[in-house]
A and B are shown apart, each in its own frame.
Chain A
Amino acid sequence: MGINVNGPYISKVRIKNFRNFNEEEVNLSHKQVIIGENNIGKTNFLRAIQLILDPKLSDDDRNLIETDFYEGLDSPMENGEEIEISIDIRGFDHNKNLLSILSDGTIEDNPCTIRLTYRYYATLNNDGTYTYQYKILQGNSEEIQFTHYHRRFLNIKVIPPIRDVEAELRNKRKSPINQLIKEYDIKQEELEQISKGLKKTSEEVLTIDELKHLTESINNRYSNIIGQQVPDTKLSLETMDLDPNRILNSLKIMLGNNKRPTSDTSLGLTNILYISLVLLSLEDKTIPPILQEDTYDRLLHEGNSDVLKTCYTQNESSKYHLNNDISVEDYERLYSFMEDQLSSNKGLTILAIEEPESHLHPALQRIIYKDVMRSNTSVLMTTHSPYITSVAPLNSIVHLRLTEGSTSIKATASLELDDRDQKDLERYIDVKKGEIYFGKGVILVEGVAEEYLIPKFADSLGYQLDNKGIICCNINSTNFYPYVKYLKTLGIPHVVITDGDYYYNKMVKNKNGKLSQKKIFHEMFNEKHNELGYGYEGLERTKDLMINLGEICNDNIPDDINEEGKFYRESDVFIGMHTLEVDMMEVSVEKKSIDVWTQIFDDLTAGGDGQKKKFKDSLQKGDFAACLKKIESNYSKIGKGRFAQALSAECNKNNIPEYIEAAIKRIYFKVDDEQ
């Protein structure tokens, strides 16, 4: 079906005083991936929603206990503290069943939004104690309740992480396949005929002499025991259950060409099958795919029934099948027509899947995720899987993390990035398997050298990054904007380390022989640079970044270049002077620790002793730009990456530029501060 009528979804959740959550509010969209460490409260987040929407929860489950209160509260039930959870729901108003019972809770009509609020509230007794009760209210009213009746039409289904899908599939009543079959309007007569035919062929088995003999033997033996005392006790054999009422229940799903039963297939495949079936059974079935002839004829007599003729075609078995190419207008008309005429009085469901990755190969994890994303049903999915998070769209992430003792919830649903930035970020997240989501703190760097060196620096400073869950993300460019914006939205502490990229201005002849001013990079400072001025491109980039992020405005920026660098540190951006290597060399010289440089250069270079000597000379002279050129030159065949790798194994405290040390300390401090 080309047309998509998306089902209702939760557009906002507010939680107050429930389990891990002190006071949280978050905006959500139609598909959400909920991530966060173990025990951070992913299940509790779903539970909060279940308190309102899950029909499987009992009254007892909804009457909370002391341990359900936010952990930061002292004896909450002695102090009359209350728990409040409210959800806003959108995307329900195309369905008249939902609109007819939920419109009382409307808080906004564009887009149509209803609010449901669970409240676990206290009433003061005369003796100073409190009695607790819960209620679930619609809208902003204190009177209209949301009850099990409403839940029949709007609810949530949770597929838990540890699930016995095989048993669920085998269960005759609950199995999604049987649920799905029930939704078709299958004629009793048709079944009876088939059942008769089956019976006839299967009875042939019973005419085999051996079986006749067996039946007789059993009967003889049996009647010997009970004698003539009990009437009507003749035994017979039958091959299978051929009752037309139950024949559909005997259907089983088989897999592959040699029809393996699902119990013989891998747990992973069975899991996928189960989730697919559940999604299918949750689809909006207002428009039936097949109409019996008599139903069709009856419907023709109703007003506006002309839409039937455009949307259905009769097939050989005289049933009417829904066409595949229906225009949006016709689809809407048909939907409204069917709602009025054939309403199933079934509700719509929001699906929550906890850790779909269990038992699944990484490739299948990605597939199931993509399938889920295509469905019309709103899905909330908790996961630890980097394979899933790495393919999840940027704005589908809900991130739970610990801040100041309570779990904070951040979501990217309302994130806005331009197309270019969004693609950059998505590609990065995919390639790096979503590592950005799993750090308690993030250091954003611009190149591979930083990626190798910074963790090592941190070690030698005594600030192990791994211990704190801090990761160093190399974005391979200096376009920090989407990353910083995203990390901010997710509430993940971060610092940016970037080169200063010193340059000076020079008049240069272009191709046409005309003189024009150009920036010259990769040279050390020289008095002559004062002539036309010099600058740091790192500072200029950072200024743009900060202004784009709305962190600062132009007026606040100090005029003095040295002050400007410090100023950006306030916003967690740490800027060098030249490039990382040059800045390292500078500090190494200053702290008389250049041996590591000459050593590595000598080891790695393909050049001869002459080159090695020149490298050492340049280093001692302070012409670090020349050194760097030698590292990168074709002659030496080293390259920055390889050099950095080697360096990372051998460097020490004295090789660390000050701005990097400061950045490491800052991120360490921020992560500590959060917890």
Chain B
Amino acid sequence: MTDLYTKKLNQIKIDKEQYDAFLSNKSTVVKAGPGSGKTTVLTVKIMNLLKEKIKEPRGLACITFSNEAVSEFTSRLNKMGYQKRKNIMLSTVHSFCISEIIIPFAKLYNKNISLPLSIISEKGELFQSILGNYSIDRSQVKLEDMDNERNMLIGNQSKVAIDSNEQAKKVALEYEQRLKELGKVDFIEIVKVATELIEEQDYVRRCLEAKYPWILIDEYQDLGKPLHEMVLTLLAKTNIKFFIVGDPDQSIYSFQGGNPAYLKELFEKENIRSIELKTNYRSNQEIIDLSSIALNLDDREYRAGTRQGEKADIRFITCKNEMSDQYKYIINNIIPECIGKNIPFEEICILSKTWGELEDLSRAMDNANIPNYFAKQGFLKNQVIIWLKDCASWVTGSSAVSFTDIFEYWLKIISYIDEKDKLLKVRNLHSVLNSSKQHQNQLSDWVHYMFEELSIKDNIIQNEQYDDKNIAVLEDFYDLTLTGELKDYSVKRFSELGKPNNQVTLTTRHSSKGLEFEVIVLLGLEEGNFPFFGNVDDEYKLNEERRVFYVSLTRAKRVCYLLRSERITYRTGTRIKEPSMFWNELMEAVELQRKNK
């Protein structure tokens, strides 16, 4: 049997650009288009570095976008035979900053940050009260504007110019002042202090370099300025090698500070190797060509690495009234058509702007007995629940998680200090997990059992590292297992959450990143809806909407439905809606393509 690593490595060797990226032994930026296999390159590269290049006790850091992504990554590496060892950090930017920079060094350098870290749970309230003090209307400065200003104030290496808003800046400075007075921090504050430490202290940089001769970063386009500043400083002042993967075309998180320009700035930087992964192993060539229309750019040269000669199937469906007609069309036409062509439910995905619409659609599909997977699982962003899910995997015999990992996170939850009863804690957790198997048929029973036997809530309340929001999240989660969408789930099914199980996937455009389906259905392509009317005249914002459209289209391997309604009712009355500009542009391109054939 060839192991997974060798299998994946052989795959990479066939693709010249992927192999170049894999072999690269200096700092490298990889621009990776949709379906280009970037995650494979990244994971195989990590395995190779650990096997061949980096000897214990040194290691590497792999930084990615969210806790979910970290957990996904860890399980991929586990399957490839990754052995836990010292100085390997798979984490989000925030956990990296906390555990590798703030905790070890903030005290040493007397940084003005209160330790242990206490994360503010009423950020919104604090922001509102500052707006009140300055008599600023909430339509003028949004929380996201303030955070953008704060991010801008971090570091000064990047040359990317960003518009600044005086009022938001005023609010930002006041906010940071008040935060300090409260002895609290938020994520931006954490990253800010970490960036300062890296910039100011040679020793901090040397320690990072010693531990992490390589730092790999995924989804760079969504990670924002603070990380970018950190990367630039470390590139300039250390020998740390970076392997940075991202796609500026898929940068859709500007409200969290993401900006495609940062990745581009790195891509063009001297002394960094730039590689573009140009082969798309997901979609057929026509989909690839058409989707680049969405970007309004004509210099993308992606080629299909699969489905040679296959044609795209793009449908433009105009419904009469309201969103409900679009739902009806899906239920009455699209789904039966797919069934007719033997396309499994798992290969169908409905994309919408908001979760609200999808909730309505989900109900309608339930009524029509169409199995559907409503992918809004906010609780899966919570680390404790991700951990519970890992426990569930282990309990049901999956190899993707190791008991050591589970145990290590458990030690964090119980903020364990003493070596002396470590063995006791290991044994206890092990036996609780084992005996929890008796409840594996009923998730709610299992969760209850885990909560009680491990006193999870008490432990979290006592642990200063967790803010109290966690308790609410856990309680809501338990409610879901009793009466909500997780009712009647088995533990195994819970452990597989995040992946549809012979169901049609319903998700938002933003959350669809990284997913792929044979058939994509895009809802709500009316003028004013997509792109949002307020963004049309702002080039920066319009481009972001274009990228959202691009991300949506590129989820499709072959088939794409675009739906719109002629009349939609708002609070102010019913309006006749023209098709979205994206609809028109794409339709034009499709017609041109047909004519050329």
Residues of B within 8 A of A149 (CB): 57, 86
A554 within 8 A of B: no
Q: Check B206 against A99 for contact (C-beta < 8 Å).
A: yes
How far, in whole Å, are A110 and B109 apart by their CA atoms in the complex? 12
| Complex interface: stretch among B14-22, B29-37, B70-78, B208-216 | B208-216
Whether, in the assembled complex, A179 has its beta carbon less than 8 Å from a beta carbon of chain B, the answer is: no
Q: How many contacting A-B pairs (Cβ < 8 A)? A: 70
- Provide the residues of chain A in CB contact with B210, threshold 8 Å: 96-100, 103
Do B417 and A106 touch across chains, with their CB atoms under 8 A apart?
no
Task: With CB as the reference atom, state the residue of chain A lying closest to B108.
Answer: A106
Q: At the interface, yes or no: B104 with Cβ under 8 Å from chain A? A: yes
Shortest distance between the CB of A307 and any CB in chain B (Å): 12
The residue that A153 contacts in the complex, of B57, B418, B420, with Cβ under 8 A, is: B57
Residues facing A in B528-560 (CB within 8 A) are: none
- B405 is an interface residue with CB less than 8 A from chain A: no
User: Which chain A positions have C-beta within 8 A of B211?
Assistant: 99-100, 103
* Contact A109-B56, Cβ < 8 Å, known A103-B210, A143-B417: no
A380 to B286, CA, bound (A): 75
Question: Chain A residue with minimal CB distance to B25?
Answer: A302
Q: How many angstroms between the C-alpha atoms of A104 and B105 in the bound complex?
A: 9
| Given the contacts A106-B203, A133-B419, A343 and B25 also touching, CB distance less than 8 Å | no
Q: Which residues of A in the span 81-130 have a Cβ within 8 Å of any Cβ on B?
A: 93, 96-101, 103-104, 106-110, 112, 123
Contact A96 B417 (CB under 8 A): no
Q: Does B158 contact A (CB under 8 A)?
A: no
Tell me whether A336 and B239 are in contact (CB under 8 A). yes
Secondary structure at chain A's binding surface: helix, strand, loop or mixed? mixed
Given contacts A101-B86, A301-B25, contact A343 B55 (CB under 8 A): yes
Q: Which residue of B lies closest to A131 (CB)?
A: B420
Q: Distance in Å from the Cβ of A80 to the closest Cβ of chain B?
A: 15
Residues of chain A within 8 A (CB-CB) of B420 are 123, 133, 135
Within 8 A of B (CB), among A283-306: 301-304
A263 within 8 A of B: no
- Of the candidates A101, A140, A142, A302, which one forms a contact with B57 in the assembled complex, judged by CB atoms under 8 Å apart? A101
The yes or no answer to A11 lying at the interface (CB within 8 A) is no
Q: Does A345 contact B (CB under 8 A)?
A: yes
Cβ of A168 under 8 Å from chain B:
no
Say how far A303's CB is from chain B's closest CB, in angstroms: 5
Q: Is the CB of A100 within 8 A of B25?
A: no
Whether A100 contacts B417 by the Cβ 8 Å rule is: no
- The contact of B203 among A104, A109, A143, A303, by CB within 8 Å, is A109
A93 touches B206 (CB 8 A): yes
Q: Mark B44-71, 1 if CB is under 8 A from A, else 0.
A: 0000000000011111000000000000
Q: A100 contacts B57, CB within 8 Å?
A: yes
Cα(A337)–Cα(B386), bound, Å? 40
CB of B254 within 8 Å of the partner chain: no
Instruction: State how many angstroms separate the Cβ of B50 from the closest Cβ of chain A.
Output: 13
Is the pair A99, B207 in contact by a Cβ cutoff of 8 Å? yes
A340 CB within 8 Å of chain B: yes
A301 CB to nearest B CB, Å? 7
B87 within 8 A of A: yes
Instruction: Determine how close the nearest CB of chain A comes to the CB of B407; give it in whole angstroms.
Output: 16
Residues of chain A within 8 A of B87, CB atoms compared: 100-101
Query: Is B58 in contact with A112, judged by CB distance below 8 angstroms?
Result: no
B188-217 vs A, CB cutoff 8 Å, 1 = contact: the mask equals: 000000000000010100110111010000
Q: What is the chain B residue whose CB lies nearest that of A340?
A: B213
**A152 to B, closest residue via Cβ:** B57
Chain B, 85-102, CB within 8 A of any chain A CB: 86-87
A142, B417: Cβ atoms closer than 8 Å: yes
Q: Does A645 contact B (CB under 8 A)?
A: no
A205 to B533, CA, bound (A): 99
**Which B residues are CB-close (under 8 A) to A345?**
55-57
Q: In the complex, what residue of chain A is closest to B203 when comparing beta carbons?
A: A109
Query: Which residues of B208-239 are within 8 A (CB) of A?
Result: 209-211, 213, 239
B271 to chain A, nearest CB (A): 9
How many residues of B are in contact with the other chain, CB < 8 A? 27
**Residue B567 CB within 8 A of the other chain:** no
Q: How far is the CB of A97 from chain B (nearest CB, A)?
A: 6
Is B303 an interface residue when CB atoms closer than 8 A count as contact? no
A145 touches B419 (CB 8 A): yes
Which of A93, A96, A104 sits near B58, CB closer than 8 Å? A96
A106 near B55 with CB under 8 A, answer: no
| Mask of A178-218 contacts with B, CB within 8 angstroms, 1/0 | 00000000000000000000000000000000000000000
Alpha-carbon separation in the docked complex, A97 to B210 (Å): 7
By a CB distance below 8 angstroms, the chain B residues around A143 are 417
How far, in angstroms, from A103 to B86 measured CA to CA in the complex? 13
Contact with A along B395-439 (1 / 0, CB 8 A): 000000000000000000000011110000000000000000000
The CA-CA distance from A90 to B206 in the complex, in Å, is 15
In the complex, which of the residues B26, B55, B58, B207 contacts A303, with contact meaning CB atoms closer than 8 Å? B26
Residues of chain A within 8 A (CB-CB) of B203 are 93, 106, 109-110, 112
Interface string of B244-264 (1 = CB under 8 A from A): 000000000000000000000
Interfacial chain B residues near A140, Cβ < 8 Å: 107
Contact call A340/B417, Cβ cutoff below 8 A: no
Q: B23's closest neighbor in chain A, by CB?
A: A301
Contact between A100 and B201, CB atoms less than 8 A apart: no
Chain B nearest CB from A305 CB (Å) reads 10
- Across the interface, which residues of B come within 8 angstroms of A343, CB to CB? 55, 58
Residues in B neighbouring A145, C-beta threshold 8 A: 419
* B207 nearest CB neighbor, chain A only: A103
Residue of B nearest to A94 (CB): B206
A135 touches B419 (CB 8 A): yes
> A216-232, CB under 8 A of B: which get 1 and which 0?
00000000000000000
Chain A nearest CB from B465 CB (Å) reads: 12
Among B56, B86, B417, the most chain A Cβ lie within 10 Å of the Cβ of B56
Q: Smallest Cβ distance from A641 to chain B, in angstroms?
A: 61
Known contacts A106-B203, A142-B417; A96 and B104 CB within 8 A of each other: no
What CA separation (Å) do A524 and B460 show in the bound complex?
Answer: 90
Asked if A100 meets B58 with Cβ closer than 8 Å, knowing A149-B86, A340-B239, the reply is yes
Question: Nearest chain B CB to A49's CB is how many angstroms away?
Answer: 21
Given contacts A109-B108, A303-B25, contact A100 B239 (CB under 8 A): no
Q: How far apart are the CA atoms of A103 and B207 in the complex, in Å? A: 6
Q: How far is the CA of A301 from the CA of B25 in the complex (A)?
A: 8
Nearest chain B CB to A109 CB, angstrom units:
4
Complex: chain B residue closest to A133, CB-CB: B420
* Bound Cα distance A153, B86 (Å): 13
State which residues 337-390 of B face A: CB under 8 Å: none
- Which residues does chain B contribute within 8 Å of A112, judged by CB atoms? 203
Distance in angstroms between the alpha carbons of A97 and B207 in the assembled complex: 10
Asked if A97 and B58 make an inter-chain contact with CB atoms under 8 angstroms apart, the answer reads yes
- The digit string for B107-143, where 1 denotes a CB below 8 A from any CB of A, is 1100000000000000000000000000000000000
Known contacts A97-B58, A149-B57, A343-B58; decide if A104 and B108 are in contact (CB<8 Å): no
CA distance A112 to B205 in the complex (A): 13
Nearest-Cβ distance from residue B61 to partner chain A, whole angstroms = 12
Supply 17 A–B pairs (Cβ within 8 Å), ascending by A.
Answer: A93-B206, A97-B210, A100-B57, A101-B86, A103-B211, A104-B104, A106-B104, A106-B203, A108-B108, A109-B201, A110-B203, A135-B418, A149-B57, A153-B57, A303-B241, A344-B55, A345-B57
Interface of B toward A, CB cutoff 8 Å: 25-26, 55-59, 86-87, 104-105, 107-108, 201, 203, 206-207, 209-211, 213, 239, 241, 417-420
Which residues in A have some Cβ–Cβ distance to B below 8 Å?
A: 93, 96-101, 103-104, 106-110, 112, 123, 133, 135, 140, 142-143, 145, 149, 153, 301-304, 336, 340, 343-345
4 closest A-B pairs by beta carbon, nearest first, are: A99-B210, A100-B210, A103-B207, A109-B203
* 19 other A-B residue contacts (CB within 8 Å) besides A103-B207, A145-B419: A93-B206, A96-B210, A97-B210, A98-B210, A99-B206, A99-B211, A100-B58, A100-B210, A103-B104, A103-B210, A110-B203, A135-B418, A135-B420, A143-B417, A149-B86, A301-B25, A304-B239, A345-B55, A345-B57
